Amino acid sequence: MILIDNLRDGLNTFKALSSESRIKILELLSEYNRLNMNELAEKLELTNGAITSHVKKLEECGLIKVSTESAARGNQKLCYLHEDKLIFDLKKKRKEKFYESEIAVGHFSDYDVYPTCGLANKDHIIGEVDDPSFFADPERINSQILWFTKGFIEYRLPNYLKPGQKLTEIQISMEISSEAPGVCNDWPSDIFFYLNDHELGSWTSPGDFGETKGIFTPSWWYPNWNQYGLLKLLSVSKYGTFIDGSKISEVTIDDLELDHKSNFKFKLAVPEKAENKGGLTIFGENFGNYNQSIYVRLIYS
């Protein structure tokens, strides 16, 4: 996410978005996930020189990333979206105070999962696929992707609040998807979120994506397995609980009654009551399209 809260700071971004061709490049990358320079030039009917100039402007303001990869006929430059959200917030406000932490996918504190299920790091599968007992294997702390069809995974979040600091919002960012046998882009799954066993709400993942390789997914990963997820931002504030800004419940931060002494136990689940039991995959570093673990921000006053 790119946040622009000052017009002057956003000048380069505004200039980059002032071109119809550059808007079309962003639309194509949103549709196709990633394209090389020749493919962009062909689809837009522009010269390679013109495409190079447009891509450079989009890369300079952080909207896209360009990586060089080897191909059959030499190296090629691949373009993909660096950020999938651009927010303009021009209202002057006080600078937020917050604590941030990053939780590795394998650092869960409790689980109850059902096949299909498994864990892996950037080098290999951990244990055996579809055997839940390996979720207790000591090596599970090194896992960077995990998946299951039904059940839950729970994480202990660090609480850095000090006496006198009032929690005003919790934000949790993660790359997730459904879990289908193999892959299926149309495989809905109702994923529920809990904090200290207080149900926050649910979000329906549309599918288990595998039509293109994840940008950071390792080369050894099986091509008929899920490749990437969707980056979702869960937030709980005084206004309710939201996913990417859309309200999913009326649960507020005050309802949770959290302070500097509280335990923070965050659970993701596909429970029996879910209408769509399509499983859950959590992508961490070295997997998917975002190369991140689970980011947590505690905003306080």
> Can you tell me which residue has the tokens 């971004």?
13
Structural domains of the chain, with CATH: 2-88 (1.10.10.10), 97-300 (2.60.120.260)
> Contact at 8 Å (CB) between 105 and 129?
no
Distance from C-alpha of 258 to C-alpha of 178, rounded to nearest angstrom: 30
CA dihedral 86, 230, 101, 168 (to 10 degrees): 60
Residue 81: predicted pLDDT: 87
Backbone angles phi, psi at 134, to 5 degrees: -75, -5
Classify strands 264-270 and 150-157 as parallel, antiparallel or unpaired.
antiparallel
C-beta atoms surrounding 183 within 10 Å? 20
- The series of mean pLDDT values per 10 residues for the chain, 301 residues long, is 69 87 92 89 92 92 84 79 72 73 97 98 96 97 97 97 96 97 95 98 97 93 94 96 95 96 97 97 96 96 91
CA dihedral 127, 129, 130, 133 (to 10 degrees): 10
Residue 200: predicted pLDDT: 98
Residue 87: predicted pLDDT: 73
Name the residue among 211, 229, 225, 236 with its Cα closest to residue 157: 236
pTM: 0.74
Distance from chain centroid for Cα 68:
23
Distance from C-alpha of 179 to C-alpha of 130, rounded to nearest angstrom: 12
